[in-house]
């Protein structure tokens, strides 16, 4: 366990605190040195580690697919090309089975979501102490390396999808058609407009919440389990047990991080398909 001077509670809190930049209590701007200082910074604080890792992994995604595209061959493909082609074909087949409309943006969007979220989730398999302790050596007080354990990141992605859903709902159905969808469903009566709007508004708002909070909840829980297992390494008696549990949870977590990325991509396509569905109101 890193930081032997820390209690278990302090160890957990340290690993769950972001490297936060904002306005300090004395009025100056800088990095928070504790969870309390980070909380006091308020709405305008920036989680620098979440932003840096998410953007950096986005560039990793572009690099991998860019290199693969340039080196692609029609002959016997290498392992990387095989993996990329498998991902592309899977997402393409999934998208075509869900989305029956014409929009060349949807399939690339789904591919980007799946790979990007997968890479961010994959950081959860890096031993929990390595990068945070390296950050401390470099003079940084905190370092969370799994962007999807930050609700700000997951909800930002979910809200981006939500904005796209609203845009295409209005574009495909028109303002009047979209308004009728919100006010005349499921009961086609002007007297039921308040009830219809309440039901449809809840359904509409549930879309970004289901996307962002599902991903955050699953990844945060997975990270917490890794941290709790890491505490066992502070005791020589529990060291072997901790090693077995760490390995077993990491193997199982490979399925979780892949499934969560796939669910986020599939739900995004489903919501886009609903936005393109034009009914006779």
Of the candidates 34, 141, 152, 210, the residue annotated as catalytic is 210
Of the candidates 214, 234, 235, 268, the residue annotated as catalytic is 214
Of the candidates 18, 218, 234, 268, the residue annotated as catalytic is 218
152 a catalytic residue:
no
| Cross-strand pairs, 185 | none
121 a catalytic residue:
no
214 a catalytic residue:
yes
| Cross-strand pairs, 180 | none
Q: List residues with catalytic annotation.
A: 210, 214, 218
């Amino acid at each position: 366990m890193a930081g032997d001077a820390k209690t278990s509670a302090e160890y957990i809190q340290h690993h769950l605190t972001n490297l936060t930049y904002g306005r300090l209590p004395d009025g100056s701007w800088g990095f928070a040195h504790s969870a309390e200082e980070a909380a006091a910074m308020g709405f305008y604080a920036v989680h620098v580690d979440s932003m840096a890792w998410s953007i950096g992994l986005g560039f990793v995604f572009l690099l991998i697919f860019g290199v693969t595209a340039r080196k692609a061959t029609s002959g016997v493909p290498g392992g990387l090309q095989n993996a990329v082609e498998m991902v592309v074909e899977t997402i393409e087949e999934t998208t075509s089975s869900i989305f029956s409309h014409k929009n060349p943006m949807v399939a690339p969007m789904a591919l980007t979501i799946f790979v990007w979220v997968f890479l961010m989730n994959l950081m959860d398999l890096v031993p929990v102490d390595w990068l945070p302790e390296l950050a401390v050596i470099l003079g940084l007080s905190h370092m969370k390396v799994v962007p999807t354990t930050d609700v700000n990141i997951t909800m930002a992605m979910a809200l981006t999808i939500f904005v796209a859903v609203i845009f295409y709902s209005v574009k495909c159905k028109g303002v009047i058609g979209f308004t009728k969808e919100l006010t005349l469903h499921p009961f086609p009566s002007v007297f039921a407009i308040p009830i219809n709007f309440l039901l449809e508004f809840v359904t509409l708002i549930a879309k970004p919440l289901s996307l962002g909070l599902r991903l955050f909840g699953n990844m945060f829980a997975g990270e917490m389990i890794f941290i709790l297992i890491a505490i066992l390494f502070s005791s020589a008696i529990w060291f072997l047990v901790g090693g077995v549990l760490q390995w077993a949870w990491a193997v199982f977590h490979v399925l979780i991080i892949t499934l969560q990325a796939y669910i986020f991509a599939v739900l995004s396509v489903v919501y886009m398909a609903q936005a393109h569905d034009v009914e006779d109101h």
